Amino acid sequence: MKKTFVIHPIKLAVSIATAVITLVLSISAIRMDRWVQGIIFAVISAVFFALTPIFGSTVTLSAEGVRRRFLGFLTRSLTWDEILEVGVAGTKVLKKAGSDRTGEMYIYFSPYRLDDQTRFEMMLKWPPRDQLYMLYTHNRLKYVSIHADRRIEKYNVGKLRIDNKSMK
């Protein structure tokens, strides 16, 4: 049984909408002989189109492992034997001590084991290039726990509980 998820559907939609709108503005500005504004809008459009592979790739979980694809092309694949750590991590790492604010949380699949310092560095440089990841939701984590027969690590997740009871 396999399941496919978009890495971050909301950010994908915002990126595409922004890219298309600024592209239309760029074309309109150039047609009105406003070249500087047209070039500025074109650059903004290009930046947001460049974000679509980051947020719009799909991650497929199956009994064999985890695969990331963009526009149907395989960009990264790890078998469950190659995945040494599965975890949930929050992106807000620079915060007041004792704060439960986590920022956005992601589920990651790492080909190597991480310690707290390495997880901190990974979240500072988010998104990681050498790992697979997707936005955290309870349903996604439930599906991961079906295939990942190992402990799911936590980093900067506030009050999130990950155990057999929370996965039902």
pLDDT digits (tens, 9 = 90+) for 25-70: 999 999 999 999 999 999 999 999 999 999 999 999 999 999 999 9
Q: Cα dihedral angle (57, 62, 64, 70), rounded to 10 degrees?
A: -10
Q: Where are the beta strands (DSSP E) in the chain?
A: 3-6, 58-61, 65-70, 73-79, 85-90, 105-110, 132-135, 152-155
Structure token pair of residue 119? 């997880």
The residues, any chain, with a CB within 8 Å of residue 137's CB and separated by 6 or more, are: none
Name the one residue in this structure whose structure tokens are 């199956």: 62
Structure token pair of residue 126? 């988010």
Give pairs for 113-117: CB < 8 Å, separation 24+: 113/84, 113/85, 114/85, 114/87, 114/153, 116/155
pLDDT digits (tens, 9 = 90+) for 98-154: 667 788 999 999 999 999 899 999 999 988 988 999 999 999 999 998 888 888 998
Q: State the pairing for strand pair 85-90/152-155.
A: parallel
